Structure 1
Amino acid sequence: MSNATIELLSARRSVPARQMQGPAPSEEQLRTLLTIAARVPDHGKLAPWRFIVFSGEAREKAAQIIAAAFAADNPEADEKRLAAERERMTAAPLVVAVVSRAAPHPKIPEWEQVLSAGAVCMNLIVAANAMGFATSWVTGWCAYDRRVLDAFGLAPDERIAGFVHIGTASEKPADRPRPDLSAIVTRFGE
């Protein structure tokens, strides 16, 4: 059984942001990507997530915020390490932060809301890959650092589920072995 979707999912690989270059998706493509990303399972139709788009010079501003927070906690960090922290937001031509705003609800557990935000990240990746773009989904310390979250305008109950980097691959991603299903699949009752 083979079709374009199965082939896309079978070949999908993450590409490190430092191996991405322009062009980034156009505004029209980005609107399509975000629309598709938002079409995920969402128990209760809460939309417990939102997007922050970092493009152009805004990536530099975000990179400075991250580097400053890192430097405050790591005063011994040299310029090479600070440059690596800035690269989190500047290596790819477009970064979309998927913000999880899971909150107590009388019927929908918070963990289901967090999973919905994760599904948004995956839909965004698959849609961007289908458009021919390279992607990676990362978190890292800065996705949880309150100084960074505040600077990005997140409410106290919001967290970053992932930074999705989108660009054009400067080189073909390495093919990795597929997981050994015998090590990760159990059949109930056998």
Structure 2
Amino acid sequence: MDALDLLLNRVSVTRLFDPAPDEAQLDLLFRAALRAPDHGQLRPWRFLVIQGAARERLGELFVESLKLSDPDCSEEALQKARKMPLRAPMLVVVVARLLSHPKVPESEQVLAAACAAHGLLLAAHAQGLGAVWRTGAFSYDEHVARGLELAAHERLLGFIYLGTPEEGRLRTPPTLEPRDFVSQWHGGV
């Protein structure tokens, strides 16, 4: 796949099926992620792969979190939380590892980890895999972070769902005009 074609046509794929990426595909995903811009070469990221029965355990962790935040939540909400990780055969948890550094603030480290996640998404599309980066309340939840065994200096940035896209169902990306997002700055004159 041509690099510009990849950049111009990658889309999030929400309907994901087996098979999950195999070991060789997963290796390429992470190799692409590791090429992210990285001021100070801190490599402020890490990833957790969740597949098989571990997806069910993640669903139970989501249920625990929901019960803690809303003890009166409905059974329907609990079931929805329980099923979230089952929407794809594999999930990759994106973690920012925030390190104390005199020249690289935490905000830049979070940006670098986000760029690594984007590289993973691009590599998935390039290999014909489907992927979507999901966040939401569970991505910012302390109970979920503890359950995933994140350290105090780590921040969960979201979950990348991976699998095989439904045959012939990739959506066409919307046409956006750069002029709608770009302007010239003339030095405040």
* TM-score by shorter chain over 0.5: yes
Aligned counterpart, 1:175: 172
Q: Which letter maps to 1:165?
A: Y
The residue identity in structure 2 corresponding to 1:41 is: P
Whole-angstrom CA distance in 2 between matches of 1:107 and 1:153: 28
1:88 and 1:155 mapped to 2: Cα distance?
A: 24
Matches of 1:183 and 1:38, distance apart in 2: 31
Deviations 1:67-112 (Å, cap 9, x if unpaired)? 1111222233223222221233111111001100123311112111
- Partner of 2:4 in structure 1? 6
Name the CA distance, whole Å, in 1 between partners of 2:104 and 2:75: 46
Distance in structure 2 (CA, Å) of the matches to 1:81 and 1:175: 32
State the distance in 1 between where 2:69 and 2:30 align.
34
The aligned residue for residue 158 of structure 2 is: 162
Q: Aligned to 2:39, what secondary structure does the other structure show?
A: coil
Partner AA of 1:183 in structure 2? D
Residue 45 of structure 1 pairs with residue 44 of structure 2:
no
Tell me how far apart the structure 1 counterparts of residues 179 and 29 of structure 2 sit (CA, whole Å). Answer: 35
1:97-176 correspondence runs (5 A): 97-170=93-166, 172-176=169-173
Match of 1:67 in 2: 63
TM-score (norm 2): 0.91
CA distance in 2, matches of 1:180, 1:80: 41
Q: Aligned equivalents of 1:176 and 1:75: distance in 2?
A: 40
- What 5-or-longer segments of structure 2 have no aligned partner? none
Say which SS state the counterpart of residue 93 (structure 2) adopts.
strand
Matched, 1:21 2:41: no
In the alignment, the residues of structure 2 paired with residue 145 and residue 161 of structure 1 have an alpha-carbon distance, to the nearest angstrom, of 11
SS in 1 for 2:160: strand
Q: TM-score under structure 1 normalisation?
A: 0.91
**Is the Cα contact below 8 Å between 2:98 and 2:110 reproduced in 1?**
yes
RMSD: 1.7
Alpha-carbon offset, residue 134 of structure 1 = 0.6
Question: Gaps (5+ residues) in structure 1?
Answer: none
What is the match of residue 187 of structure 1? Answer: 184
Name the stretch that deviates more: 64-73 or 52-61. Answer: 64-73
**What does the per-residue CA deviation read over 1:41-64, in whole Å, with 9 as the maximum and x for residues that have no partner?**
111111111011101111111111
Alignment partners' CA distance in 2, 1:109 and 1:69 = 30
Distance 1:181 1:33 in 2: 28
Give the conservation status (yes or no) of the 8 Å contact 1:92–1:165.
Answer: yes
Aligned equivalents of 1:22, 1:79: Cα separation in 2: 28
Q: Secondary structure at the match of 1:128?
A: helix
Q: Quick check: 167-176 or 61-70, which moved more?
A: 167-176
* Cα shift at 1:176: 4.0
Cα deviation for residue 126 of structure 1 reads 0.4
